Amino acid sequence: NVHVAVQTQTHRLDPNTAAFARDVLDGLTRSQKELSPKYFYDDAGSELFVDITRLPEYYPTRTELGILHDRAAEIAELIPPDAAVVEFGAGATTKIRLLLAAHQVAAYVPVDISGDFIVTQAEALQRDFPRLAVHPLAADFTKPFALPPAVRDMPKVGFFPGSTLGNFEPQEARRFLESARDILGRGARMIIGVDLEKDERVLVPAYDDAAGVTARFNLNLLIRINRELGANFDLSAFAHRAIYNRDQHRIEMHLVSLRDQTVHLFGERIGFRAGETIHTENSYKYSLARFRTLAQQAGWTPMRCWTDPDAMFSVHAIEA
């Protein structure tokens, strides 16, 4: 029994590793094996993701930066000068800098699960924008959280770039937008970056690049499980696969077992048939219309949207 195995063997682990262990055992004992993409981002995975954003095939990051740069003045018009900008899942603050350079705001609240990282980033931003009140917040932005009291009476603008929304199932995406509306309050606005649906001859290479960086990013999940949970995945017996699921409007990433094999994890034997896969990520793509409908279902009103000239990526402004 998997649950007994986890309880007896994970009680010595720190809480984060124990939660990782439970999720991995739960995911690998399903009929379609699966692992959550949130576990891609250990140190090695975070570095590989930065490498992905520089690949010729991976258009989303540079295309979104282009839109934010070219349209900064128009986007800034929708952000009141006395506003507090709340960024959901703020990482390296690269994107918010493009907006702050074009437009003075009163306060910036970067929200991220990684408290140490966000504090370091906030300090650097504070040095570059001395008149901006920076209030970093360590929180899981997919769950309800309270804003710092200092920004409570300011108009709020949410910022959610990077097509991070694409990792959510449509139901989760809708619940996230509802919760963002509760957190930001009435009259708030939100700027969201969303990757657009397009030909799979462009989509698939973006997730299966010629240099094999995305393959290393995907396989790094097994390296992490071996290291942190003491499993014995044979890296040479799994291969990266990216497919476009047109019906569900999503890129799927999988790890394919290249032969029949058994992997050991916490005394459990996890069997794989040749060709069986672990589903490791969904990256949902939206048409402009389907995103607007999703936002409306979550109680928001679409205001404006911008795309690049080739209509690869979109940035939406919505109002609560």
Contact residues toward ligand AVJ (CB under 6 A) are 52, 60, 162-164, 166-167, 207, 214, 281, 283
Smallest gap from residue 313 Cβ to ligand AVJ (A): 11
The pair of three-digit structure tokens given for residue 223, joined into one six-digit string = 């390296």
Smallest gap from residue 94 Cβ to ligand AVJ (A): 14
Tokens 């990757």, located at residue = 195
- Among residues 259, 241, 44, 80, which one has the least CA distance to residue 154? 80
Smallest gap from residue 222 Cβ to ligand AVJ (A): 15
- Among residues 138, 149, 141, 135, which one has the least CA distance to residue 177? 141
CB-based burial label for 285 (10 Å; 0-12, 13-18, 19+)? buried
Residue 83 or 194: which CB sits closer to ligand AVJ? 194
Smallest gap from residue 199 Cβ to ligand AVJ (A): 16
For residues 86 and 205, give the distance between their C-alpha atoms in angstroms, rounded to a whole number: 33
Tokens 């934010």, located at residue = 68
Residue 215 or 320: which CB sits closer to ligand AVJ? 215
Smallest gap from residue 14 Cβ to ligand AVJ (A): 26
**Residues 6 or more apart in contact with residue 55 via CB below 8 angstroms:** 206, 209, 211, 213, 214
Residue 136 or 162: which CB sits closer to ligand AVJ? 162
Smallest gap from residue 297 Cβ to ligand AVJ (A): 22
Q: Is the dihedral of CA 121, 124, 129, 132 positive or negative?
A: positive
For residues 40 and 281, give the distance between their C-alpha atoms in angstroms, rounded to a whole number: 9
Residue 8 or 248: which CB sits closer to ligand AVJ? 248
Residue 148 or 170: which CB sits closer to ligand AVJ? 170
Residue 112 or 265: which CB sits closer to ligand AVJ? 112
- Where helices occur in 136-244 by DSSP H, the ranges are 170-184, 200-206, 213-229
